[in-house]
Amino acid sequence: MNVLLENLPLVGQGFLNTLGMLALAVLFALPLGLVIAALRISPVASLRLTASVYTEIFRNIPLTLIFFAMAAFLPTLGFDYFANAIVALTLYTAPFYAEAVRSGVNAVPVGQAEAARSIGLGFSQVLTLVVLPQAVRAVIPPIINVTIALTKNTSVATGFFVVTLVTTIQRLVNTDPAALLWLFGGVAVCYLAITIPLGQLADRLEQKWQVAR
Partner 1 sequence: MTSVLYDTPGPVGRRTSRIISAVIALLLLGGVGWYLYNLNEQGLLAPERWDIWNDPLVWMDLLGALGTTLQMAALGAVGAILLGMVLALLRIAPTRWIRIPTTGALELLRGLPVLLMMFFFWALVGLDPFIAVVLALALYNGAIIGEALRAGIVSLPKGQREAGLSIGLGGLQTRLLIEFPQAFRNMIPIIVAQLVVLLKDTSLGYIIGMQEFLRRGRLTYEFFGRDQYAFSTFVIMIALYLAINLTVSWIARRLAKGSSRKPRKAAPPTGGGTNSIDPSFGSARIGGSAGTGATNT
Contact set for partner 1, span 84-103 (CB under 8 A): 96, 99-100, 103
CB atoms within 10 A of CB 7: 19
Would you give the binding string for partner 1 spanning residues 160-189, x where CB under 8 A is met? -----xx--xx--x---x--xx--x--xx-
Q: Is 149 in the site for partner 1 (CB under 8 A)?
A: yes
CA distance 113 to 143: 23
Would you give the binding string for partner 1 spanning residues 59-78, x where CB under 8 A is met? xxxxxxx--xx-xxx-x---
In the chain, where does DSSP find H-type helix? 2-6, 8-40, 45-60, 63-73, 81-106, 110-118, 123-125, 132-153, 165-171, 177-212
CA distance 211 to 213: 6
Taking CB under 8 A as the criterion, the residue among 106, 129, 133, 208 binding partner 1 is 106
Minimal distance, residue 159 CB to partner 1, in Å:
4
**Whether the Cβ atoms of residue 122 and residue 131 lie closer than 8 Å to each other:** no
**Whether the Cβ atoms of residue 157 and residue 164 lie closer than 8 Å to each other:** yes
Minimal distance, residue 151 CB to partner 1, in Å:
8
Q: Is 128 in the site for partner 1 (CB under 8 A)?
A: no
CA distance 33 to 39: 10
CB atoms within 10 A of CB 164: 23
Q: What 3-state DSSP class applies to 2?
A: helix
Segment interacting with partner 1, rule: CB under 8 A, options 9-17, 20-28, 77-85, 199-207: 199-207
Chain residues that interact with partner 1, rule: CB under 8 A: 41, 43-47, 50, 56-57, 59-65, 68-69, 71-73, 75, 96, 99-100, 103, 105-106, 108-110, 112-113, 117, 123, 127, 131, 138, 141-142, 145-146, 148-149, 152-153, 155-156, 158-159, 165-166, 169-170, 173, 177, 180-181, 184, 187-188, 191-192, 195-196, 199, 202-203, 206-207
